[in-house]
Amino acid sequence: MILRATPLRPITRNMLNLDPPDHTRLRALVHKAFTPRLIERLRGRIQDVCDDLVGAVAVKGKMDLVSAYALPMPLTIIGELLGVPEKDSLEFHKMSRVIAASSSGLFDTLLAFRSFWHIMRYFRKLIAQRRANPQDDLITALVQAEEAGDKLSEDELIAMVILLLFAGYETTVNLITSGTWALVLHPVQREKFQQNPELAGSAIEELLRYTSPLDFSSIRRTHEAITFGGVTIPAGDVMAAMVASANHDESQFPDPEAFDITRDPNKHLAFGQGAHFCLGAPLARMEAQIALTTLFSRFPDLRLAKSPESLQWRKSLVFRGLKELPIAF
Note the pLDDT tens digit of each residue in 177-221: 999 999 999 999 999 999 999 999 999 999 999 999 988 877 888
Q: 104 vs 118, 163, 172, CA distance in Å?
A: 21, 21, 23
Q: With bands split at pLDDT 50, 70 and 90, how would you rate the model's confidence at 9?
A: low
The Cα 73–Cα 67 span in angstroms is 10
Note the pLDDT tens digit of each residue in 102-114: 544 444 555 667 7
**CA torsion sign, 80 to 319 to 102 to 322?**
negative
Average pLDDT over the chain reads 87
276: three-class secondary structure by DSSP:
helix
Q: With bands split at pLDDT 50, 70 and 90, how would you rate the model's confidence at 243?
A: very high
- pLDDT above 90 covers a percentage of the chain that reads 52
**Residue 216: which of 63, 327, 302, 319 has the closest Cα?**
319
pLDDT at 204: 98
Q: Is the Cβ–Cβ distance between 34 and 138 less than 8 Å?
A: yes
Q: Does 263 or 95 have the greater pLDDT score? A: 263
Mean local confidence (pLDDT), 292-303: 98
Mean local confidence (pLDDT), 41-66: 96
The Cα 272–Cα 276 span in angstroms is 6
Furthest-apart CA atoms within the chain: distance in Å: 61
Strand pairing category for 303-304 and 231-233: unpaired
0.85 exceeded by pTM: yes
Q: 195 vs 42, 143, 189, 192, 207, CA distance in Å?
A: 26, 45, 10, 5, 17
Q: Does 261 or 98 have the greater pLDDT score? A: 261
CB burial of 259-289 (b: ≥16 within 10 Å; e: otherwise) equals bbbebeebebbbbbeeebebbbeebbbbbbb
Domain that holds residue 239: 2-328
Q: What is the CATH number of the domain that holds 236?
A: 1.10.630.10
The Cα 325–Cα 303 span in angstroms is 10
pLDDT at 98: 66
Q: Phi then psi for 303, rounded to 5 degrees?
A: -145, 160
Provide the domain count of the chain: 1
pLDDT at 147: 66
- C-alpha 158 chain-centroid distance: 18
pLDDT at 60: 96
Q: With bands split at pLDDT 50, 70 and 90, how would you rate the model's confidence at 148?
A: low
Note the pLDDT tens digit of each residue in 157-166: 888 888 888 7
327: β partners: 63, 304
